[in-house]
Structure 1
């Protein structure tokens, strides 16, 4: 049973409510008037089926009714009742959505999405409350309508909405307006035909909810245009042209979704500035990703691809895709460049192009540092890397395209220097640089290539070997090219490093002068090259005795030389050189340029027509092995001077009948024995291999006396050996080769002898 206090409170509230609704009028006259106003306002707001005819209302009476309800402070109650009635009528909208969406899902035609949107706008406007109810009423209504709408739209609607947006985008290209759009959306003269659609999108809340779809359509058109116009077009910058296309095509379309409410051009520019910057970012990112995907081929095409490099540089300043560039280029290099099938000269050429291209994109060198490291490590493992670099330095014609740009000034090799923090121009390293990066790394290409190795001494030794080969190959006595090369190399490596090369060049000119003196005393068909033994790289020292008249010619020349230089004597290197032979057979004469060993064999065949291989080797003596002898004999077989029949027995072909008699026997031997001529100078790799064989005795003694040792300990102890100057990587490669031969074992980084 309610207490007296509660009864008093209820009576008070009822009295106050009655007074508010009756408004102080006699009896219940005011309450009756309020009831009439409430019924009129409720009927006016009632959500009806738009297919039915709406009753006519006198707007002045409706306005007075709303004012009366507001005066009685019952407007919010009216709104709540209106929203509740709207909720009960929402099934009508659900039926409309299902009808149009079923048509779209069966046809995928965006016109049904347009019809649905315009129909939903009609429902929205039909149920829209009067503006007299205020903005809060409109906000509540809009929220309730959109909440229900978004809850009933099927998953296929975003796809259809995106297709409809694409149709509006095509209209900016002056494409013909489809008839269904004219039928669906009301047209305003002088306005875009899709204006009504965008108004409906805005009222229904689609622009906010599906903003990503709207921008996604634009992004797709940008991507498609870039792929069509920029792919594999590297000779000119394309970024400015793409931006111009976007200004003429994308920006006019953007006015509807992003700047439709602007009243002045300045206001429109301000509204489009933020979204325009976002689209420009996507444009730069798309072009950047395209160029990064093509980066390997762009580098191959350098310098014709300078336009693409400029685009990529500008895009990377806008988009942070440097990590993607490094990753993509490293993967492409590993797949297409750093493998055994690629020639070292090709790898070096591509590496030089990478250096030049990445300096265009990133002058500081951070990208180059990250990309070049795998290439440099791979080149260090290749045995002919130094030789290819040196061949390019001296202009070797067989080295292909030069690694050095003729337009670049010749300058000394640059060495990395410590940072000078007192320099007022000093700048900190870039934030994305690695811990080992240094901004003052060598900037010219040659210094960068030489810096692949820890010491330039390896290059100097290879220079000496290559120059020796080139000097010994000169037959006309013109050494101007080699002299110029030495002067250039002296600028790069310093005069002290090239002193030996100067001596070699002087030996060649002195050799011609000595030969001229000897020829003046006694004319000879022999023109030897006389060199200083201690200033040249090791030469091939295979020896044998020249037979017959060839030996007599050598002895006469030696006698005249000793007479001219009493304090010196000649030590012949008979495997090197060239002999011009005129071989007179019974029915023909053959002229060939032969090696001294070939000439020696021809001399022996002048004594008898048939020799076995062992007889020929015994006759010339010295250190000639079977392979060397077969190589010389195979050359004479190819000239149809000799034929091998039977195996290891060689016959002189005096007549063409002999050729027919012996037929084509020995063809297989000829193919097998075709090898490159022996180089006169021992290569650096051969010298190092021979020296490592000497150092093996030290390594063997260490492991025998001290047991298992790690590689760094072996390296430290070898430094006490005479002339040991190998790096720990070179020592590791040698130890691995010894392991493969079964000489040593390794376990957990410790090395031991196999027979220990």
Structure 2
């Protein structure tokens, strides 16, 4: 009878082998396979290696366990051993990050990642089992990420920055480590943020205030040569050919190109006011801005920034009207480059146009530019064309619909010249024509050499802009000047005269400055003699003298000296009085010259006091200095209330003010008979008055001035007399 233990042990062995799928012919038992596999997979310190075994034997052991359906138990055993070795990794991370926190040296992070890659390689299961490998990878990365401190993302970002610009070969090795450790997937957003940051730094370093070269092209070249090769390592992993790599990174490159355009666009929007000031030298910056706006939707930001800058730096009382007009013209030219349809210009220009419309000297500044005194408003190469508004032509084969961001009041129009745009600030061209007449009159009367060719050329150019009919009065003015020269030559030929007056047609010239001045003595005699010669030449006409206008060349002969001066007729009339007696009072001079006010007389006397010809004796008494004596000459202190007015022509503002004084009688009668009225009704009734051509805005300004003087009140939207 066999031994019980032997019989039982033999049966147990057969049962286990049956369960495990082994047979007596198997070369490797389960127990032996388990021992070989667990020993080979067991994690160890880096300086310790597993006992040497044949890899084929280890693989056979793993397969034997898998065949026995015991792989989950092998994995549990492996994970348990792995958890026992976690402290090695934790210790490495803490030490390396401690050194980085103290030094902020990205090399510490690089050494840590290299060390972690060594741990990973040392512990990775050698048998070719996907389940074992994936389990190990997940467990290793899970433990690794749990040990990383909160400062690690910033440290890893600093390391990424260091890798930009490094050789591609070295970066491939570094990013392979990142991928093995799972950093590329976990910190993918950091990769993009590093590139975004580099783009912003590049723009900040190379682009501010650089408007004379195409910076967008330079940025794209930098992106292609420096950033794209760096992107190939993380984003083109697994590419077999160059075409595959290019296809894999094309999407991310497009995102970064978008960020380049957006960052540069942000910068140029901040600088847009100064870019416009620097035009045309800033042409390249404008072209870059135009290209950026086609990629990024920042048109509203551009409008907001430019309107805000204009309000702060341009549209305020301290800015000169010519400077505002110059900036407005530059704005027109620049925004036409950035946005040819004109939507941006329409949105930006409206506040400027409204502000210019409220300035009293805007028309005069624009008209000055029309006749060659406007600085840089008009481009010399720009051909003058008629001032008109071109209606939208829907039958044009090149017609395009309005842009999507155009407002409801925007209307697409053909690009017009600068002057047409400036004139369109106002509703009517009549205001400009009147100002043209005033300015032309001033310029013609200031000409002393008889050369009117420049003004004739200006008139011909203005005809192209405003038409023949609008410039008929200017033609008459120019004809008067040439006729006056001819008349003077004829009268001088009949009898020599020292006077050379300008004879003009009163009905075709703007009103000239009036005065009660009456020339005394020899001056009146010279006028009368010239008048008789004119009447003989033009029997059907007579002269009406404006003696206060013009210039007089005098040689004042005194006992010890002769003073040669060019003075106004008023000053000449005053010194003429001193030829009859040496001492005159202010009142006597005023009466003798036609009841002039004392301020006007004092202005004339100050000229002679400054030349040392007359002295102020006090008590408004003045004495002629036949002999120069500094003790008798008092300092000529020019009073503050004396304002020099060198223009002989009444300005448009003065004409409008005089006309509004007439219309005030109409307004006063309306408010008296009808009672409180809104401004629209006042405007409607004033249109019935002869010659009334004011806008509602101009009427509102006049009523506001009357309110400040206490003549009217404004309550509840109604104007009423202040009783």
Question: What TM-score, normalized to structure 2?
Answer: 0.91
Contact 1:543 1:573 in 2 (8 A): no
Q: Quick one: which of 194, 205, 210 aligns to 1:217?
A: 194
Q: Quick one: which of 304, 313, 328 aligns to 1:327?
A: 304
Contact 2:666 2:686 in 1 (8 A): yes
Contact 1:709 1:750 in 2 (8 A): yes
Q: Does 1:305 align with 2:305?
A: no
Contact 2:58 2:127 in 1 (8 A): no
Number of the residue aligned with 2:491: 518
- The structure-2 alpha-carbon separation of the partners of 1:254 and 1:646, relative to structure 1 and needing over 3 Å to count, comes to same
Q: Does 1:670 align with 2:668?
A: no
Q: Quick one: which of 401, 412, 427 aligns to 2:386?
A: 412
Moved more, 483-492 or 741-750: 741-750
Q: List structure 1 segments (4+ residues) > 6 angstroms apart after TM superposition.
A: 17-20
Q: Residues of 2 paired with 1:35 and 1:711: CA distance?
A: 109
User: What does residue range 73-472 of structure 1 map to in structure 2 within 5 Å?
Assistant: 73-80=69-76, 82-83=78-79, 86-87=82-83, 89-130=85-126, 132-134=128-130, 137-172=132-167, 192-396=169-373, 399=374, 401-417=375-391, 419-440=392-413, 442-472=415-445
Report SS of the residue matched to 1:196: helix
TM-superposed CA distance for 1:526, in Å, is 1.7
Number of the residue aligned with 1:5: none
Contact 1:415 1:442 in 2 (8 A): no
Q: Residues of 2 paired with 1:197 and 1:233: CA distance?
A: 37
- The structure-2 alpha-carbon separation of the partners of 1:580 and 1:132, relative to structure 1 and needing over 3 Å to count, comes to same
Q: Residues of 2 paired with 1:638 and 1:146: CA distance?
A: 98
- The structure-2 alpha-carbon separation of the partners of 1:153 and 1:717, relative to structure 1 and needing over 3 Å to count, comes to farther
User: What does residue range 590-609 of structure 1 map to in structure 2 within 5 Å?
Assistant: 590-609=563-582
Q: Does 1:686 align with 2:646?
A: no
Report SS of the residue matched to 1:656: coil
Report SS of the residue matched to 2:350: helix
Q: Residues of 2 paired with 1:357 and 1:533: CA distance?
A: 45
Q: Residues of 1 paired with 2:711 and 2:38: CA distance?
A: 104
Q: Residues of 2 paired with 1:158 and 1:602: CA distance?
A: 93
Q: Residues of 1 paired with 2:665 and 2:523: CA distance?
A: 42
Number of the residue aligned with 2:615: 643
Q: Residues of 2 paired with 1:251 and 1:115: CA distance?
A: 25
TM-superposed CA distance for 1:61, in Å, is 3.3
Question: What TM-score, normalized to structure 1?
Answer: 0.88
TM-superposed CA distance for 1:464, in Å, is 0.5
TM-superposed CA distance for 1:263, in Å, is 2.7
Contact 1:442 1:448 in 2 (8 A): no
Number of the residue aligned with 1:717: 685
Contact 1:634 1:674 in 2 (8 A): no
Contact 1:638 1:670 in 2 (8 A): no
Moved more, 624-633 or 198-207: 624-633
Q: Residues of 2 paired with 1:55 and 1:626: CA distance?
A: 124
Q: Residues of 2 paired with 1:292 and 1:656: CA distance?
A: 67
Number of the residue aligned with 2:3: none
Q: Residues of 1 paired with 2:532 and 2:368: CA distance?
A: 39
Report SS of the residue matched to 1:498: helix
- The structure-2 alpha-carbon separation of the partners of 1:46 and 1:593, relative to structure 1 and needing over 3 Å to count, comes to same
Report SS of the residue matched to 1:672: coil
Number of the residue aligned with 1:3: none
Contact 1:34 1:69 in 2 (8 A): yes
How many residue pairs are counted as aligned between the two chains?
Answer: 708
Number of the residue aligned with 2:6: none
Moved more, 322-331 or 461-470: 322-331
Q: Residues of 2 paired with 1:689 and 1:674: CA distance?
A: 21
- The structure-2 alpha-carbon separation of the partners of 1:66 and 1:370, relative to structure 1 and needing over 3 Å to count, comes to same
Contact 1:359 1:368 in 2 (8 A): yes
Q: Does 1:745 align with 2:713?
A: yes
TM-superposed CA distance for 1:64, in Å, is 2.1
Contact 2:356 2:362 in 1 (8 A): yes
Contact 1:21 1:34 in 2 (8 A): no
Contact 1:645 1:666 in 2 (8 A): no
Contact 1:710 1:750 in 2 (8 A): yes
TM-superposed CA distance for 1:394, in Å, is 0.8
Q: Residues of 1 paired with 2:272 and 2:617: CA distance?
A: 59
Number of the residue aligned with 1:183: none
Q: Residues of 1 paired with 2:172 and 2:530: CA distance?
A: 105
Number of the residue aligned with 2:4: none
TM-superposed CA distance for 1:55, in Å, is 4.2
Q: Residues of 1 paired with 2:133 and 2:612: CA distance?
A: 108
Q: Does 1:707 align with 2:675?
A: yes
- The structure-2 alpha-carbon separation of the partners of 1:456 and 1:94, relative to structure 1 and needing over 3 Å to count, comes to same
- The structure-2 alpha-carbon separation of the partners of 1:211 and 1:527, relative to structure 1 and needing over 3 Å to count, comes to same
TM-superposed CA distance for 1:483, in Å, is 0.9
TM-superposed CA distance for 1:252, in Å, is 2.8
Moved more, 115-124 or 213-222: 213-222
Q: Residues of 1 paired with 2:105 and 2:626: CA distance?
A: 93
Q: Quick one: which of 459, 475, 496 aligns to 2:448?
A: 475
> How large is the Cα RMSD of the aligned pairs?
2.6
Contact 2:549 2:648 in 1 (8 A): yes
5+ residue gaps, structure 2, are 1-14
Contact 2:599 2:642 in 1 (8 A): no
TM-superposed CA distance for 1:199, in Å, is 1.4
Number of the residue aligned with 2:9: none
Number of the residue aligned with 1:10: none
Q: Residues of 2 paired with 1:444 and 1:98: CA distance?
A: 72
Moved more, 207-216 or 36-45: 36-45
User: What does residue range 568-647 of structure 1 map to in structure 2 within 5 Å?
Assistant: 568-622=541-595, 624-646=596-618
Number of the residue aligned with 2:55: 59
Moved more, 46-55 or 144-153: 46-55
Cα shift readout 1:407-430 (whole Å, capped 9, x = no counterpart): 11121113141x333433321101
